[in-house]
Structure 1
Amino acid sequence: MAPLRTFEQTMTTASRLLDSARPAHALAVLVEFDNALTDQPDAREYGWIVAYRFRAAFRSGDFEQALALVDDGPLRFTADIPASEAATMSSMGGEAAIRLNKPRNAARLFSRSIELRRQMCNAELALTAAQTASRLLVDEGHHELAVEFVEQLIAADHEYDEHRATGYAIARFVAEATGHAGLTAQLLAARPWLTAFGGESAETALRFVPKQSGVQLISADRLPDPDQAAAGAAADALLAQRNYADADHAYRAVLDAAIATGRPDALVAGKAVLGMLLSAVMSGRLNAAHHLWTSESGSPRLGILALESGQVSAYDTVLYRLIEAFLHSLSTGDPATSSTAVDTIMHSCVTWTADHDATTVVRLLNNWKLHLIEIHGVNPPAAYTAALDAAERRWGTTSTTNTLYFPHPGPWRQR
């Protein structure tokens, strides 16, 4: 093949070869042109030479050369590569690094691609790049490196809810593989939102089960035992009558009966422990509530596991999350950590409630405000009320400081 002496000829020929699925030939043309250069060419023209040489190398399977071009950059001359092209090269370079078993190089290049797209003010493409990065890293078993990209997806603004749902779906596989505490907490907090949003990605995320050992629960995707359901409903009636001691005793009896079968129903275990938690909170037995919530063994732990793995209705899940937010607010640990937990939980609860019982939103915002006051004092710093302030603006209502609100548990039926 005769050398092509001009930029225009080289680019026309390389484009035609790439379009006709002959990337190796295109690469040869571009390398010949590059090697023939002796002085600094026009930086913009040379930028396109480098970009097309990268594409040809990648498409022809020469991942070493492709990675060198995007990772080290052109070594001989200065190249002015358009930002959009540089972002694409970084993303594809990440894939090349994955294929060469260089996952950390891949993660760095994926991050560069996302940052370039953000600088271009293209949030949609930045999220698409994060989605590509997380999928490729997870597919190759590099779960820990995928975390930062998954977190970018699930933090997406509400106009990009499809990306959020996809992020939660990928987060499920990362959390199940690694037990990552942060993603586990976010997956559990997002259950009401995922239930309301629906779709394949949301359903995938909702099937997440936290890592546990030695626990055998029957799935709640069916009606519970009629006798157990009737006993649970009777316990609910005692709770409604504010007979908290008897209600607690009744819920414990339901849980014990379920455990005695040898294969406890997840819905029954979850709702029994939910009732026990609510009885403790409403009667002011906060130490007992905290002990139940943090149980690491025994029958209460089975109920907590059922609640945290979506084995009860979305309504009851929201109730459980409201109790969790309250208990987080009572923590004696780092106030910033408690605030973050409260914000995450309350945002998901308010989002689900707004779609199912809009009149109750103001009561949940009231809970949110009271929790922040509990953590930070009567006038929480503005930095800690930003999420609540945004929620008030979004739903057009203002929180008050009335008493805490915990709804009555839902019916004992299939979730």
Structure 2
Amino acid sequence: MANKLVEIITIGDEIINGQIVDSNSAWIASFLNRSGFEVNKITSVPDQSEAILQSIDSAFSNAGIVLLTGGLGPTKDDITKHCLCTYFKTKLVFNQAVYDNMTEMFNKRGLWTINSFNRSQAEVPEACTVIINRKGTAPLSWFEKEGKILVSMPGVPLEMMWSMEKEIMPRLLNKVQSQAIIQRYLWVKGYPEAVLAEFIADWEDDLPPELKLAYLPQRSVMLLRLTAKNSDEANLNNLLNSNIEQLKTLLGEAVFAEGVKSLEEALGQVLIKKRLRLALAESCTGGALGARLTRAPGSSAYFLGSIVSYANEIKQDLLAVPEIMLQNKGAVSKEVVEAMAEGVRIKLKSDIGIAISGIAGPEGGSKEKPVGTVFIALADNDQCLCRKFEFQLDRTGNIEQAVHQALILLLDYLYL
């Protein structure tokens, strides 16, 4: 029987070169964790035989389960299954069931006739258990060796998720006795990391061995994650509940949300509790703040909508920003962003209006207003708060920082 430790290997030059972000391993690790498996290590390797073989060998020396994603496409640079044949001392053989699944999928999608490159995906390692991929053409390969398990799956996120949920996890649970792993989250404001650690040191020192605390700084706020591991799930829940209550008593109002992993979800809890509704006016962020807020399930309970006022005429026509103000102060100014926040609050009939205007870059800056200059304002019926920032990142980084600081402004307002 394989042990419960898992190593994840993601394969692809595009990951190593930074062309895409490896979101697969993060999703797999989270899914495994919720199912009672512990991830020991995550590795990314290029489409190179030596690197793939070394990563498999290293993973098997540390874990009982190895999960691979990627490198199963129809082109010559997809070499994962060839490496697996080398590692497990086997050969590729044609699998009719895989080919039939591919044919059916091509017919349903109205695709071209299967060519030799596509057909090669029906060639699988002879020594593996083949699992048909109902979401794509590349099958899964399940290997067992000396009580350990290796599973190779596609790197396409939709196919990977289906593979994990519908095929791999049910099979792993039949093979391995997993333990209960439960995680709880608390959001804390007003404490730098080191100060918070010192303040709760005695509480942390008294934690039972089944519980582990992690500090996850989120730029101006702190996310605390408490993880519990044991075979007795009921006991773990009792331990978590009692220790979390102790921590909440210790921190008092510094704890502003719990049970969620993202800042937007945490703020959503507070907005719902306070029965406040929010509207946005975005210029340089182009709707990114609205997109961030609506990641949170249930955001329709407090988020009314957004006006992306990139052009000055939109600021005038939809947000009632005076033309003379835009001419005299410029779109990137305290006065204009405050007018935008008030304008969207009135236009969309919300309790709170938040506005962002700035110079994301790489061009458009000046000596007085360099690239990275951003104004963020929040208006309610009685007041308007405004903050100025000078970020020094690239365009994407400046936008991300602006979005985050808008959320922090909202948090500070909610606890004024």
TM-score greater than 0.5 by the shorter chain: no
| Larger Cα-atom Rg | 1
Between Structure 1 and Structure 2, which shows a larger proportion of strand residues? 2
Between Structure 1 and Structure 2, which shows a larger proportion of helix residues? 1
Normalising by the residue count of structure 2, what TM-score does the alignment of the two structures yield? 0.26
Normalising by the residue count of structure 1, what TM-score does the alignment of the two structures yield? 0.26
